[in-house]
Amino acid sequence: MSPWRSAAQAPLVLVVDDQEANIQLMGKVLGAAGFDVMPALSGEQALQRVRAQAPDAILLDMRMPGMDGFGVLERLKHDPELADIPVLFVTAEHDRERVVQAIEAGAADYLTKPFVAEELVARVRAHAEAKQLRDRLRRAIREREETSSMVAHDLKNPLFTIALKAGVIREQAHDPERVRELATRIETAAQRTMEFVSNYLERRAEVELRRDYQPSVCDCDALLTVLEREFDTVLVHKQQRLVREVQQLDPVLADVEAVGLVLRNLLSNASKYAPPGSTITLACRRGKPGHLQIAVIDQGPGIPEAERPKLFQRFMRLSTQPTGGESSTGLGLADALKEARWMGGELWYEDAPGGGAAFVLELPLAPVV
């Protein structure tokens, strides 16, 4: 028996009942209201499915052979990862006393048989959407805590440098040349700190402002020309060279600002980790059917195999160090992957031929008019 699936992504509801006819009826009502429904014919099967894919709400028959609804509820409440899932008991009218016991045991709500379709939908929607909201809030809180920790870590070193050099200046005020040298170092440390804060805030603001995605035709050739000009000064500083290899460069269906954000991050990383005097390549080629790939390829050390599984996780810092003393937040690749998928594309890592790293952005081609 397969789940009923709504046309769009929706709250997932697990319906648990030993009578398949009851599952069919509730599934059809909820599916028509826009929910995704996952069925289970026993308490044991319900626990297996919850652990495989946690739902946003559970409709749980109180009386079932084997493990009944109370047994399922007890096990859910003793599992920290599952305890927050709202459980709505489904019971007969004469089970009122057991309903009170269920609420005391941790059930969120109940429905009586025979149920009213509108009431079923309203109660399930209220609890499922509340669960989704709690999950979003937890993720936001966790992300903010992680960000605060990362910012504090990345600001500690330059601020310590500023304080240390300021103290030395106070002690060596009699040596004007030494004072000028230390003042320059303080200025450099302060500029790096301000750039870090500014870049992070700008990146987060751009992501927040583009929540509602409306794809448009993106001229990749024009965008790459702009990026080549932007990075010319940066690359000259490290005596690096940027070249373009084109197999295909047709327009893509994407968001030009988001594509630029991803490629700027990849180019910045390539320059950061590649040695001075090396070449960075922008390779434009055919992807899977109906897609274009833009690869940023460097001649650096590449990514150690042990670090690749976590490469796109937030705050992941590589053991390889930047070749010019640049700083790294561990946020760029995670945000770049999010942007790529937001546009219906993908981003991944490959070993570059002959050594080095290759990051590949794949995007859908614009329809031919």
Predicted confidence (pLDDT) per residue in 290-325, tens digit: 999 999 999 988 888 888 888 888 766 666 666 655
Q: Region 202-211: what's the mean pLDDT?
A: 55
Tokens read off for 73: 């509820």
- Which residue, 102, 65, 64, is CA-closest to 86? 102
User: What SS3 string covers 170-231?
Assistant: HHCCCCHHHHHHHHHHHHHHHHHHHHHHHHHHHHHHHHHHCCCCCCEEECHHHHHHHHHHHH
**Which of 135-139, 141-145, 178-182, 193-197 has the highest average model confidence (pLDDT)?**
135-139
The pLDDT value given to residue 278: 93
Domain ranges of the chain: 12-136, 214-369
The pLDDT value given to residue 62: 87
The pLDDT value given to residue 199: 59
Confidence of residue 231 (pLDDT cuts 50, 70, 90): confident
- Which residue, 261, 290, 285, is CA-closest to 350? 285
Domain 214-369 sits in CATH 3.30.565.10? yes
The pLDDT value given to residue 237: 75
pLDDT in tens, 82-118: 998 999 998 876 667 777 888 888 888 888 888 889 9
122 vs 198 pLDDT, higher one: 122
Residue 364: is its pLDDT beyond 60?
A: yes
**In CATH, what number does 12-136 get?**
3.40.50.2300
348 vs 136 pLDDT, higher one: 348
Q: Region 343-355: what's the mean pLDDT?
A: 90
Residue 330: is its pLDDT beyond 50?
A: no
Residue % of the chain over a pLDDT of 70 = 75
- Which residue, 3, 96, 74, is CA-closest to 87? 74
The pLDDT value given to residue 335: 80
Confidence of residue 4 (pLDDT cuts 50, 70, 90): very low
Pairing of strands 279-286, 291-297: antiparallel
pLDDT in tens, 117-167: 999 999 899 998 888 888 887 877 777 766 666 565 556 556 666 666 666
Residue 7: is its pLDDT beyond 50?
A: no
* Residue located via tokens 């626990």: 47
